[in-house]
């Protein structure tokens, strides 16, 4: 597993994402609503790629205001002060470490079961523990979600007694795409409809079985 960026930026990144989420949630809505705004903004992509300007060159409040500017709402310039670690502050702080540790995009982390609601649910248990305890729990959940999503195609293929190469030959879908779907590098639910139909036909199963 490769870290998202150099560790020298990690402390700033954790503090800034924590303040961004805390301030953004308090000023512009609930944590999940604000975080979804963050996900569709370019800030989330730049942050995940380790752009120093976003990790440490801007404050958390500036990041939050950029998020709402990009997603179609004018900043309110509300006065904000942090008083210790709120649950939302901790959620942003822990999420920043998780993203750095795994190197995954924030959207992938969310799709693999670790959304803001889930992180907040861990606050009572982990906010005073070493961050590695949270990481163990979060990465285990992500692995379970990845296994669940990749197994739909893999399970049907193995049930049919086919190798990936044989499925590619029977379906006409490229081998590298089948591998990407099974390894969860590509989301089969976002594949071309024709490709999913070809796979289902070759496996003698329904499209719904592959998208389950």
Q: 56-111: per-residue pLDDT in tens?
A: 999 999 999 899 889 886 666 566 666 567 999 999 999 999 999 999 999 989 98
The full set of domains in the chain, from first to last, is 7-128 (no CATH), 148-211 (1.10.260.40)
What is the structure's pLDDT at 182?
83
Give the alpha-carbon dihedral of 45, 88, 111, 150, to 10 degrees. 120
* Confidence class for position 27, pLDDT limits 50, 70, 90: confident
- The DSSP string of 81-118 is ---S--HHHHHHHHHHHHHHHH---HHHHHHTT--HHH
More confident: 210 or 63:
63
pLDDT at position 191 over 90: no
pLDDT at position 151 over 90: no
CA pseudo-torsion sign 65, 36, 144, 154: negative
pLDDT tens by residue, 153-173: 888 998 899 999 999 999 999
pTM value > 0.75 = no
């Amino acid at each position: 597993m490769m870290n998202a960026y150099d560790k020298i930026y990690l402390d700033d990144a954790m503090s800034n994402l924590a303040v961004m989420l805390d301030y953004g949630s308090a000023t512009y809505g609930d944590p999940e609503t604000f975080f979804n705004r963050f996900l569709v903004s370019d800030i989330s992509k730049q942050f995940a790629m380790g752009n120093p300007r976003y990790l440490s060159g801007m404050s958390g409040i500036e990041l939050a205001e950029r998020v709402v500017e990009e997603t179609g709402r004018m900043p309110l310039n509300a006065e904000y002060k942090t008083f210790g670690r709120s649950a939302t502050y901790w959620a942003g702080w822990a999420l920043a470490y998780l993203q750095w540790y795994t190197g995954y995009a924030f959207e992938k982390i969310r799709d693999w079961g670790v959304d803001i609601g889930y992180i907040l649910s861990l606050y009572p248990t982990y906010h005073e523990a070493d961050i590695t305890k949270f990481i163990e729990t979060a990465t285990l959940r992500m692995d379970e979600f990845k296994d669940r999503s990749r197994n739909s195609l893999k399970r049907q293929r193995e049930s049919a007694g086919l190798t990936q190469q044989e499925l590619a030959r029977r379906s006409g879908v490229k081998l590298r795409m089948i591998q990407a779907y099974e390894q969860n590098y590509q989301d089969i639910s976002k594949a071309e409809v024709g490709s999913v139909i070809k796979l289902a036909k070759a496996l003698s199963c329904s499209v719904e079985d592959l998208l389950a």
